[in-house]
């Protein structure tokens, strides 16, 4: 029962990412507010894949995270390459979400 309630709270605090230009803003916003590098994004599918994206002046560092939040794969890419990544595909399909900064700070 507790897990279901906690899950509902997390879902309520998630919001969709709708445009490619939002990624840079959301990452920088989270870094300023939380003081932590990057921001967590979730592909809302059966697998619920979790990624952390960090902004760099030349592009993005994208890390696929495991269930405990540890990186299992890291890619560095320029914004044009990011458009071909599964995160961008999920965004176009309406399946890419991120937590509000208050929730990100707690995780």
Q: What is this structure's pTM?
A: 0.78
Q: What does the pLDDT read at residue 102?
A: 54
List, for residues 8-19, the tens digit of each pLDDT value.
Answer: 444 457 889 988
Of the candidates 52, 34, 42, the one whose C-alpha atom is nearest the C-alpha of residue 98 is 42
Q: What does the pLDDT read at residue 34?
A: 87
Residue, of 43 and 103, whose pLDDT is higher: 43
Contacts 24+ apart (CB under 8 A), 61-64: 62/87, 63/38
List, for residues 59-99, the tens digit of each pLDDT value.
Answer: 889 999 998 999 999 999 988 888 888 899 999 999 999 98
CB of 40 closer than 8 Å to CB of 51: yes
């Amino acid at each position: 029962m507790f897990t279901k309630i906690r899950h509902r709270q997390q879902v309520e605090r998630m919001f969709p990412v709708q445009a490619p230009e939002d990624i840079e803003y959301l990452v920088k916003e989270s870094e300023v507010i939380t003081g932590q590098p990057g921001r967590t994004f979730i592909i809302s599918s059966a697998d619920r894949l979790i990624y952390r994206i960090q902004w760099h002046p030349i592009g993005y560092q994208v890390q696929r995270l495991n269930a405990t939040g540890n990186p299992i794969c890291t890619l560095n890419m320029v914004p044009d390459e990011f458009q071909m990544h599964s995160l961008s595909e999920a965004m176009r399909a309406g399946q890419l979400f991120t937590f509000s900064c208050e929730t990100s700070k707690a995780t």
